[in-house]
Structure 1
Amino acid sequence: MVGQVDVVHGLYYAVMHGVFALFGDSLVTLRLPSVLAAATACGLTALVGARLSKCWVGVGAGLALATIPAVQEYAQEGRPYALVLAFVVLATRLLVGALERPDSRRWAGYAATVLIAAWLNWFSLLALAAHGVTIVYIRPDRARYAGWALAASVAVVGALPVILTSQAQVSQVSWIKPLGLSTVLGVLITVTIAALSTRLPHARVSQSMQEEAPHARLNLAAVAFPLCAVPQVGLALISLVKPLYITRYVLFAYVGLALLIGVLLATIAARFRTHACVLLPAAVVLALLAFLPIELRLRTEQSRVDDVLTAAATVGRLRGGADGVLYIPAARRDTALVSPHDFTGLRDLALAQAPVESGTLKGIEAGPHDIERAMLRARRIVLVTDPGPRQADSARDLTKQRVLDEHFVPRSDSIERGRRVTVYERREQERSAFRASHFDSDPTASVQGR
């Protein structure tokens, strides 16, 4: 996986191998690190908010982060994004500490934390860019600026091997669609709320550096707004050239929003003379109720899209007397690679070399002509593909679709959890010819067999 498609997740895979070795490879073990990381991120967000403003601002920020649906989603999943979130918040906390009382140990800790986040997902370096905006805004003295610049340089240089190696695997993100209106609106709304919240008094008053560095302008707004805006806007601008915008890649931007929501809650409490210990629980309940449809969906099986196990089980249930299987696009072959039992006896009509034989992750497909010949030898074919209209983007996939349309008819169709399984059968008028010619050729022949 690391050598072919997922070098960007290499550190996470290594960590999870160790976790599985210690605690077993159950679903609880898979997801628990994400749960703990998200909880840690909420606690650290509270500490950052309290350090830069007031205690209740921090508590409100931590609670706000916990109620954001995207954070809850990746707190449930066996992926590295909750860990990235936690390390970005930790790096932000260390940055604040290093700016308050700069020394080599604090800057070293900051550099190491940023580097770990980058090795978990190098898009987290957008948080480093946000920290750079904070540095420019507060205009620290030369020693503080030099400390940050050196720490940032060390982190970037340390992340370069992953960044450069991943360029050879860029096809792994070729499925990402260009920016849609909903994504653009989401970014605009989030950044606008954050920008408006920076005008509130609690976002502008600093309690941490007044005595030690009164010339510096370090406050919550200076830290939170860049952290919210720079990653989202930066990745959106990059996506105008190369589509890359996925919420999970900039999940940590919600930390900046949560900090400013904490300011907003504290301001409301002060304006209406309501004690924060009353307002904050009420605000959490209201937020959960407002997000209830999303909250409920996140906790259902239907929210787990791209489910290869369910797709494989569907193949086992519907295949009937099928003698071949196809995948459009070829990447959907992962359905059989993850759960091969349900595909036993089905010839992979397009596969020229198996993964082990070819030394690749998913094998190598034959040319269009050989795929067509193999398909015309089959009587009944199972197709595993995506829901919705199929978009064949290669000559091989175009050939698969053309032959199915011209020589086969669909007999059953099932869409479940992000995959579509359709069973095709040879057209009635071709069956007699098929039976007559079937015994003139090797009935076990396939592309892979040749």
Structure 2
Amino acid sequence: MSDTTAQASSNPRPARLTPSGTLRPTHRTAVGAAPVLVGLIAVAVSLFLAWQPALWTDEAVTISAASRSWSSLWSMLGEVDAVHGAYYALMHLWGSVFGFSEAALRLPSAIAVGFATAGLYLAARALDGPRTAFAAAAVFAVLPRTTWMGMEGRSFALSTAVTVALSCALLAGVSRRRRRWFVLYGLLAAIGVILNIYVLLAVVSHGLYILLLPRARRALLAWSGAAAGGVLAGAPVVIAAVRQAGQLGTPDLTLQELARKVLVDQWFLGETPTNAAVSGSGNGLWQPAAVILAGAAWLLAARALRAPSRPLLAFALPLLLVPTAALVFYSLAASPIYNPRYLSLTVPAMALLIGAGLARLRSPRAVAALGLLCALILPVYLSQRSEGAKDSSDWARAAGYVQAHANPGNGIYFGPRRAPEGPLVDQTQRRISTAYPEAFEGLRDVTVLATGEADGSLDGTSLRLQDSTSRIKDINRVLAVRRADYPPELTAAEDRWFVEQGFTAVDAWSGTTNRITVFERKSGGSS
């Protein structure tokens, strides 16, 4: 197999050089404008209606961490979520200027997707020419995993953008053999590992690329030094993540679920409106569309393998397979740490293969194939922009109900996320108030012992409701916010406790994942 594309006609010839060896001004302008254009389009695609889905538990964690003081954030990272510490620090700075509304929280991720798309265009052009570059950038911008991470207030889009930048630095270093590119590579590797420890697997993938491509092996020593320096700089985060390893992954992952997540969810679905506690939440056109999309995309990727470009395959296949295989193998052999969202950094590699497959079709067929992909993506994309897109979250409506039915001085009770196992509760529905604080201003939390910022945890510490009698003596109205799947026997026991304290249920609201009951009593204090 040669270092050139087997189907040379699939990509136009490179732009002509002037006698001095530089691109003509018109060609240089066109080449420079293309990545900017595709990047801006990708930002628009990810940002469209990104503010519409309600915030959910993962994004509430981001807000909780990023809105703390620096000392409190540092204290928290010593106990939990060290893997996201750099992202929280960045969002602390961002939120201090723009706040934490749905749009403000998600905008950095959309911008990161734009940078990743522009970088992927440049990488694909270097590997396989402009036709593949346009196709790969277009595919990346609309793949469901991309459009999901582009509207998610978490670190996945930023770490993917750093991975693409890391790849561009590597390709430039290999082709130009200048030390500065490998210095940049080492710096980006450190930043990437600190943002997301799985970027370490992308660095390993780059080593395989150098070994697989003969003309790249001359850069092995320079890459090794840069990679080692970057990884060592990020080592403290890796060590902290290992100590907190119980916080990663998806427990009780069956082999069938693992196969579905790898073949479909990781690239062609993103997260979904599905919630096991919500009847019918997994139904919708997006579900079969994602499966058909996966089949069509894998066929296009296979076409790239049948008419290969050795540089592109040597680069894309390790980046696609190494991180995925590492997490799958570890999940099967040791602990179930695999989660599709952790491998968002592999999406550019999949887009490269699909883009190369499209580039090897004649223009009318390529346009038709891309149109088919977009038609299959559309139901998934629209499901991601629905109000309950994130785990069927109804938090915005729940907060709206509280704001409309509570007065300053009223009590608020956040039920546990699971049945309490002792006298203290560490996780409650209080995350809703973190996501939508304006709705809960002036209300008195009747069970909180310490906030997360006070005790260095994500959620703080609470009493059980039955141990909070003294806290409601002067409160005549309490709104109880409980999970929709909260055990019925526990709900009944809490309702009886309210009755024993002289309260009566006067109003109720039911959402997809939450239930709110309003309790009142005629005497015993002020409202």
Shared fold (TM-score greater than 0.5)? yes
How far apart in 2 are the matches of 1:324 and 1:22? 29
Aligned to 1:282: 368
Aligned to 2:108: 33
The residue correspondences of 1:164-243 to structure 2 (distance < 5 A) are 164-167=239-242, 170=245, 172-173=247-248, 178=253, 181-188=256-263, 196-197=302-303, 199-204=305-310, 219-240=311-332, 241-243=334-336
Aligned to 2:510: 414
Which residue of 248, 261, 274 corresponds with 2:341? 248
How far apart in 2 are the matches of 1:359 and 1:18? 20
| Equivalent residue letter for 1:351 | V
Aligned to 1:403: 493
Change (3 A) 1:174 1:135: closer
Aligned to 1:9: 84
How far apart in 2 are the matches of 1:174 and 1:260? 27
| Equivalent residue letter for 2:196 | N
Deviations 1:314-356 (A, max 9, x none): 3344669985513222242222344455446755443333456
Change (3 A) 1:129 1:197: farther
Aligned to 1:312: 399
Residue 257 in 1 paired to residue 353 in 2? no
Aligned to 1:325: 413
How far apart in 2 are the matches of 1:24 and 1:345? 20
Conserved? CA contact 1:314–1:421, under 8 Å: no
The residue correspondences of 1:47-196 to structure 2 (distance < 5 A) are 47-138=122-213, 144-167=219-242, 170=245, 172-173=247-248, 178=253, 181-188=256-263, 196=302
Aligned to 2:461: 364
Q: Secondary structure at the match of 1:301?
A: coil
Deviations 1:151-202 (A, max 9, x none): 2211111111222234555565477663573442242467965873453223
Q: CA deviation at 1:406?
A: 6.4
How far apart in 1 are the matches of 2:402 and 2:255? 33
| Equivalent residue letter for 1:201 | A
Conserved? CA contact 1:327–1:384, under 8 Å: yes
Deviations 1:295-314 (A, max 9, x none): 22223323245464443223
Moved more, 372-381 or 283-292: 372-381
How far apart in 2 are the matches of 1:17 and 1:98? 34
How far apart in 1 are the matches of 2:199 and 2:120? 17
Conserved? CA contact 1:67–1:284, under 8 Å: no
Aligned to 1:209: none
Aligned to 2:69: none
Q: CA deviation at 1:366?
A: 3.6
Q: Secondary structure at the match of 1:39?
A: helix
How far apart in 2 are the matches of 1:154 and 1:376? 61
How far apart in 2 are the matches of 1:372 and 1:25? 34
Moved more, 7-16 or 25-34: 25-34
Structure 2: state its 5+ residue gaps.
1-64, 66-72, 265-293, 418-426, 500-504
Conserved? CA contact 2:210–2:217, under 8 Å: no
Q: CA deviation at 1:360?
A: 5.0
Change (3 A) 1:303 1:19: same
Q: CA deviation at 1:32?
A: 3.8
Q: Secondary structure at the match of 1:252?
A: helix
How far apart in 2 are the matches of 1:379 and 1:181? 52
Aligned residues: 402
Conserved? CA contact 1:9–1:80, under 8 Å: yes
Change (3 A) 1:92 1:354: closer
How far apart in 2 are the matches of 1:153 and 1:422? 53
Conserved? CA contact 1:52–1:220, under 8 Å: yes
How far apart in 2 are the matches of 1:334 and 1:199? 47
Deviations 1:217-262 (A, max 9, x none): xx11111111112222222333343333333221121211111112
How far apart in 2 are the matches of 1:421 and 1:24? 28
Aligned to 2:34: none
Deviations 1:33-67 (A, max 9, x none): 33332123223222222222232122211111122
RMSD (Å), alpha carbons: 4.0
Conserved? CA contact 1:227–1:253, under 8 Å: yes
How far apart in 2 are the matches of 1:358 and 1:243? 29
How far apart in 1 are the matches of 2:319 and 2:165? 13
Conserved? CA contact 1:198–1:225, under 8 Å: no
Change (3 A) 1:82 1:21: same
Moved more, 164-173 or 332-341: 164-173
Percent identical pairs in the alignment equals 27
How far apart in 1 are the matches of 2:152 and 2:511? 23
Q: CA deviation at 1:294?
A: 1.1
How far apart in 2 are the matches of 1:294 and 1:334? 27
| Equivalent residue letter for 2:388 | Q
How far apart in 1 are the matches of 2:214 and 2:487? 52
Change (3 A) 1:402 1:145: farther
How far apart in 1 are the matches of 2:213 and 2:99? 48
Structure 1: state its 5+ residue gaps.
205-218, 270-275, 393-397, 445-450
Conserved? CA contact 2:250–2:338, under 8 Å: no
Q: Secondary structure at the match of 2:430?
A: helix
How far apart in 1 are the matches of 2:255 and 2:470? 40
Moved more, 314-323 or 357-366: 314-323
Conserved? CA contact 2:403–2:439, under 8 Å: yes
Q: CA deviation at 1:68?
A: 0.5
TM-score by length of 2: 0.64
How far apart in 1 are the matches of 2:102 and 2:518? 35
Change (3 A) 1:337 1:74: closer
Moved more, 136-145 or 44-53: 136-145
